[in-house]
Amino acid sequence: MSSDELQIIETKKISNIKNCIIGMPDTGLTGMIGVTHLISSLSLDEIGYIDSNLLPPVIVVHKGIPKQPIRIFGNKDLAAITSETPLNMTSMYPLTKSIVNWVKSKGVELLISTSGIAVQNRMEIKNPLVYGVTTFDNNKKLLDKAEIKLLEEGFMVGPHALILKECIAKKVNNLTLLAQSHPQYPDPGAAAATVNSINKLLDLNVDVNKLLEQAEEIRLKTRELMQRTAKSLKGMEKVQEQELPVMYG
Amino acid sequence: MRKRRLIDIIQSSIENLEEEIDQAIEEVFEWRPMWDVQKGTLEPLANVSEENNKIIVSFDLPYVTKENIELNVSENSLEVEAELNRCIKYEGWGTVQRECDFKSFHKFVKLPEKIVPEKAKASFKDGLLTVELQKKEAKKRLKID
């Protein structure tokens, strides 16, 4: 799957994939932490990566092996896409378009985007709530089943908002999950809430205890990524998510 | 008409170039690592916000207990030193091809306004340190005639 600006390279070909989950660096790194935990808990193999000259000139090295920062993991039942570097504005539009096209080409039945929604009183919340927004009305029953609250009014800003936009245009079944998160700090607790919701949505049984046990380590080791992400979000008018919607009547 | 388009293209290219140069300058001059190998310290994530007559500074301090936090406050700065309850090692990390030990967090924050150090309050919950500082020049309530 490729365009002039961006290529999705499949290192392992899978013709059809049932479900797909995306978690990019965003508020509280919630989506990224949750998806990374799913990938490791389900031992999902790396099946591809995204390459583009619009992305920052970054390569990550793991155990001596150079890797692209945006990678795809999975099997025929579930694919998971995440990034180890924040997305910039230049790459975000072609990237989200290419991802949605790829998802469509794989016949994905449900694309779940995960992210955090900043709440100022996060410290007082023991169990973060997860809100959902969906492109199809009949998913609302699915939200009820998974005890996910429907986001009735508000703004969404960031990669998940563009994915949702693209899914509306391409008629792709998308469910965006937003967990109450720390606005400025990595939030493994919010990520765990998202994973619990995904468990209920997809009938998975991913244990979040390990994620919660590693919370301090995750917070410590994702400081730089959180700082870079916060900087990139500033340029996206992310604060709009905190604004009250314009309502009359 | 054709000339104008060419001018627009040149202008837009110059703008893009300027933006890239600004970003590069910012990267070079503003970026610094969030760790100091020599001192064995890590820089915590911190946030400064203002609320009426207060300045609120928060720090994310995982692996830290309340007893191991030292806070120093002056009229225009706040400094936090917090001992980690375990040593953080990064083996074979980056170009530092050896074990790298970090034992504490350290952060110096320059405050946006002068404050009254004696009125500073601090709380610590779930690894998050919040310091509430009273601004020196409090806002005066204005009566509308």
* CA of B45 vs chain A CAs: smallest distance (Å): 6
* CA of B128 vs chain A CAs: smallest distance (Å): 8
Nearest CA in chain A to B105: A220
Q: Which of B62, B125, B126 is facing A220, going by the closest CB pair?
A: B62
Contact B45 A223 (CB under 8 A): yes
β-strands A110-118, A65-67: how paired? unpaired
- B34: chain A residues, CB-CB within 8 Å: 223-224, 227
Q: Which CATH class is domain A15-239?
A: alpha beta
Check residue A5 and give its pLDDT: 78
Q: Report the percentage of chain B scoring pLDDT > 70.
A: 82
pLDDT tens-digit series, residues A14-23: 999 999 999 9
Contact B126 A123 (CB under 8 A): yes
pLDDT tens-digit series, residues B22-63: 666 665 556 678 888 888 999 999 999 998 899 999 999 999
Q: How far apart are CA B49 and CA A118, in angstroms?
A: 15
Would you list the domain boundaries of chain A? 15-239
B18 φψ region: left (φ > 0), alpha (ψ -120 to 50), beta (else): alpha
Nearest CA in chain B to A183: B47
Check residue B11 and give its pLDDT: 78
pLDDT tens-digit series, residues B97-106: 566 789 999 9
The encoded tokens of residue A137 equal 């009305």
The encoded tokens of residue A32 equal 């990224």
Helix, coil or strand: residue A36? helix
The DSSP output letter for B44 is: P
Task: Determine how many CB atoms are found less than 10 A away from the CB of residue A240.
Answer: 12
Question: Best interface-test mutation with A: which of B59, B60, B85 has the largest number of A CBs within 10 A?
Answer: B60
- What average pLDDT score do residues A154-171 get? 93
Nearest CA in chain A to B48: A184
Contact A184 B45 (CB under 8 A): yes
Nearest CA in chain B to A226: B45
- B42: chain A residues, CB-CB within 8 Å: 220, 223
CB B45 within 8 A of CB A185: yes
Q: Which of B47, B88, B126 is facing A220, going by the closest CB pair?
A: B88
Which of A149 and B6 is assigned the larger pLDDT? A149
Check residue A3 and give its pLDDT: 58
Q: Report the percentage of chain A scoring pLDDT > 70.
A: 93
- B43: chain A residues, CB-CB within 8 Å: 223
Phi, psi at B135, each rounded to 5°: -70, 145
Give the highest mean pLDDT range of A5-9, A65-69, A193-197, A236-240: A193-197
Confidence of residue A79 (pLDDT cuts 50, 70, 90): very high
- B125: chain A residues, CB-CB within 8 Å: 123
**A:B CB pairs within 8 Å:** 36
pLDDT tens-digit series, residues A24-72: 999 999 999 999 999 999 999 999 999 988 888 889 988 889 999 999 9
Check residue A218 and give its pLDDT: 96
Contact A227 B60 (CB under 8 A): no
The DSSP output letter for A32 is: H
- A224: chain B residues, CB-CB within 8 Å: 34
Residues in A whose CB is inside 8 Å of some CB of B read 123, 183-186, 215-217, 219-220, 223-224, 226-227
Q: Is the pLDDT of residue A233 over 70?
A: yes
Which of A115 and A87 is assigned the larger pLDDT? A115
